Amino acid sequence: MINMSIPSVNEQLEVIERGTVEIVPRVELIQKLEQSYKTQTPLRVKLGCDPTRPDLHLGHSVILRKMRQFQDLGHHTILIIGDFTAMIGDPSGANKTRPALTREEVVANGKSYFEQTSKILNPDKTEIVYNSEWLSPMNFEDVIRLASHYTVARMIERDDFTRRYQNNDTISLHEFLYPLAQGQDSVHLKSDIELGGIDQKFNLLVGRHLQKEFGQSQQICLMMPLLVGTDGSQKMSKSYDNYIGIDEKPEDMYGKALSIPDDLIYPYFELVTDIAHEKLPDIRKRAVADPRNTKHELAWILTRMYHGKDKADQARTYFERTVIRKDVPDDMPEFILKTDSNHGLLDVIKKTGFVPSSNEARRLVTQGGVTLDGEKITDPRYRFDIQKDSEMILKVGKRKFGKLIFRN
RNA sequence: GGGGAGGUACCGAAGCGGUCAAACGGGGCAGACUGUAAAUCUGUUGGCUUAGCCUUCACAGGUUCGAAUCCUGUCCUCCCCA
């Protein structure tokens, strides 16, 4: 008998359904919850992740937060590091087949992933597994046997396959194996519930299908909406550069949060903040009535969640100062320069690392994106001619500041 | 296996012997503006010791005063037929 306390089914449902976009099938979820409650046996909740790019952002947090809720309800959660499936790469069209990661990379990425998820998940309640553990030993025969449980017609129903097929884009045969591999994970782990974004629906359903083929109880597919990124149009993703990373500096987090379009204020509150559920109706109203302040509140809460109250306060001050009042921040990196040589502006900008090339520096200067002590410098041939010890504030672009210190 | 069409900068896509560092759109960056790092408008978007030079149009050779553009080979993709 496991010593635990799983709350009543209704209590659980309320939490579980919060923010979900689809639960397939809801009735079976209720059945599983009832069974679990009756026997006080935790459900096995599975979430797969791709260890290729271990930089977590708020988009990931939507599902991780859901996972956390299951932990808090007393269920058993399993985080799969998809080190094996990463070799295939989820066939989303833009993805190309990825080179196999080395053992070291996998371990390093997995570790980094775990550390990052620990900001959201309860690390003590998270079972970590690597799917190479069971996928790697499978031989050709095993794969053929697995593949025989799915049909081509059903495979190309998946919308990105359909789209790519119609567009005459390449679809490598091995990409069909990705959903199967992910489904095999469910079979192997005998999962009761698999979490995923709504874009994962196909893969999650394959898991359900395979479990049935293998005579197991079928997992519930619980799907969360995709968080729209800061650009307000596409899903949050590192490759669209519209993301807010959970490791982001407080000031960046705050600023980026403020840059979202107004109509995302409410969804963000709902999906990625820890604000109490009862407060959401009020937020919904205020997001429309007073977007400015509500958005600042959102930015503050997010920053607080990942960096604490003090940092959140500082981030707010920083934003008000540098962006609203166009003032100079307190802290900025310092660069020490000799007074004897007369430095070229472009060189100095390049040395700060604010730009990737001197051409970029030249462009910024020419376009008026560079100031020294608040004064716009537009001559790319500008040279410093400093005799005495002194300091200057260099601003490059919208928000890169550096203190130039001239000294012998 | 046979026939056809292609591989161009971050992405999509023009160009088909010189005027091409390469049109146009998206994305990025910057300026103006703004409650905002939003929207909009404008500019910009290979590198460098920048009035000039260097390296790019799948890869390797070749023709030519000169090639992204022509030829040969290689690799890769798509379509039709089998």
Residue A63 is encoded by which pair of tokens? 């599902």
Q: Any idea what DSSP says for residue A214?
A: T
Spatial CA neighbour of A149 closest among A218, A220, A214, A219: A214
Task: Give me the CA A165–C1' B5 separation in Å, rounded.
Answer: 17
Contacts of A3 by beta carbon, 8 Å cutoff, 6+ apart = none
pLDDT tens sequence across A114-139: 888 999 999 999 999 999 999 999 99
Sign of CA dihedral A254, A259, A265, A269: negative
**Distance between CA atoms of residues A344 and A176, nearest Å:** 56
What is the mean pLDDT of the segment spanning A390-399? 90
Quick check: is A78 in a domain?
Answer: yes
User: What confidence score (pLDDT) does residue A2 get?
Assistant: 47
Spatial CA neighbour of A376 closest among A363, A362, A394: A394
Task: Give me the CA A147–C1' B74 separation in Å, rounded.
Answer: 35
Q: Which nucleotide is nearest to A252 (CA to C1')?
A: B37
**Distance between CA atoms of residues A344 and A386, nearest Å:** 12
Task: Give me the CA A175–C1' B73 separation in Å, rounded.
Answer: 32
Quick check: is A232 in a domain?
Answer: no
A71 plus A212 within the same structural domain: yes
Quick check: is A56 in a domain?
Answer: yes
Find the domain containing A48 and state its range: 9-224
> Residue with CA nearest B11 C1'?
A94
A150 plus A206 within the same structural domain: yes
pLDDT tens sequence across A80-93: 998 888 776 665 54
pLDDT tens sequence across A95-104: 444 555 667 7
**Distance between CA atoms of residues A288 and A281, nearest Å:** 12
Query: φ and ψ at A40, to 5 degrees?
Result: 55, 40
Quick check: is A33 in a domain?
Answer: yes
Domain boundary among A276, A300, A324: A324
Q: Which nucleotide is nearest to A164 (CA to C1')?
A: B78
Task: Give me the CA A369–C1' B68 separation in Å, rounded.
Answer: 34
A122 plus A255 within the same structural domain: no
**Distance between CA atoms of residues A200 and A221, nearest Å:** 9
A341 plus A312 within the same structural domain: no
User: What confidence score (pLDDT) does residue A120 get?
Assistant: 93
A53 plus A199 within the same structural domain: yes
**Total count of residues recorded for chain A:** 408
Quick check: is A149 in a domain?
Answer: yes
Whole-number Cα distances in Å, A291 to A120, A301, A391: 27, 15, 40
Q: Which nucleotide is nearest to A315 (CA to C1')?
A: B37
Contacts of A154 by beta carbon, 8 Å cutoff, 6+ apart = none
**Distance between CA atoms of residues A298 and A273, nearest Å:** 8
Q: Which nucleotide is nearest to A233 (CA to C1')?
A: B38
pLDDT tens sequence across A241-283: 889 999 888 999 999 999 898 889 999 999 999 988 889 899 9
| First CA to last CA distance, chain A | 75
Residue A259 is encoded by which pair of tokens? 């840059």
Q: What is the ipTM of this complex?
A: 0.83
> Residue with CA nearest B42 C1'?
A367
A320 plus A339 within the same structural domain: no
Contacts of A83 by beta carbon, 8 Å cutoff, 6+ apart = A51, A101, A106, A109, A110, A130, A131, A132
Spatial CA neighbour of A334 closest among A397, A404, A386: A404
User: What confidence score (pLDDT) does residue A91 get?
Assistant: 58
Which residues sit close to strand B, CB under 7 Å? Answer: A 165, 168-171, 230-232, 241-242, 251-252, 254-256, 258-259, 261-262, 291-292, 295, 319, 323-324, 346-347, 350, 356-360, 362-364, 367-369, 397-399
A315 plus A338 within the same structural domain: no
Residue A225 is encoded by which pair of tokens? 């909406």
Quick check: is A329 in a domain?
Answer: no
Quick check: is A83 in a domain?
Answer: yes
Q: Any idea what DSSP says for residue A6?
A: P
Task: Give me the CA A359–C1' B66 separation in Å, rounded.
Answer: 29
A219 plus A304 within the same structural domain: no
**Domain containing residue A400: CATH number:** 3.10.290.10
Contacts of A12 by beta carbon, 8 Å cutoff, 6+ apart = A6, A33, A37, A73
How does strand A400-407 pair with strand A334-338? parallel
Q: How many CB atoms lie within 10 A of CB A127?
A: 12
A312 plus A211 within the same structural domain: no
State the helix-helix crossing angle for A250-258 and A309-319, rounded to 10 degrees: 60
A275 plus A371 within the same structural domain: no
Domain boundary among A224, A256, A284: A224
What is the secondary structure of A182-198 as a DSSP string?
A: HHHHHHHHT-SEEEEEG
More confident residue, A75 or A169: A75
Whole-number Cα distances in Å, A398 to A90, A168, A233, A323: 36, 42, 23, 9
Quick check: is A59 in a domain?
Answer: yes
**Distance between CA atoms of residues A222 and A203, nearest Å:** 12
Which residues on adjacent β-strands are paired with residue A127?
Answer: A78
A197 plus A255 within the same structural domain: no
State the helix-helix crossing angle for A265-272 and A58-72, rounded to 10 degrees: 40
Total tally of structural domains belonging to chain A? 3
pLDDT over 90 percentage in chain A: 55
**Domain containing residue A106: CATH number:** 3.40.50.620
Q: Which nucleotide is nearest to A368 (CA to C1')?
A: B31
Residue A210 is encoded by which pair of tokens? 């395979």
The set of strand B positions with any atom below 7 Å of a protein CB reads 27-32, 35-39, 43-50, 77-79
One-letter amino acid identity for A2?
A: I
Q: Which helix (H) or strand (E) holds A401?
A: strand A400-407
**Distance between CA atoms of residues A22 and A193, nearest Å:** 13
**Domain containing residue A286: CATH number:** 1.10.240.10
> Residue with CA nearest B28 C1'?
A241
Domain boundary among A295, A324, A353: A324
> Residue with CA nearest B76 C1'?
A170
A179 plus A117 within the same structural domain: yes
pLDDT tens sequence across A26-66: 999 999 999 999 999 999 999 998 877 678 899 999 999 99
Q: How many CB atoms lie within 10 A of CB A257?
A: 27
User: What confidence score (pLDDT) does residue A24 get?
Assistant: 87
Half-sphere exposure in the Cβ direction for A367 (13 Å, CA): 10
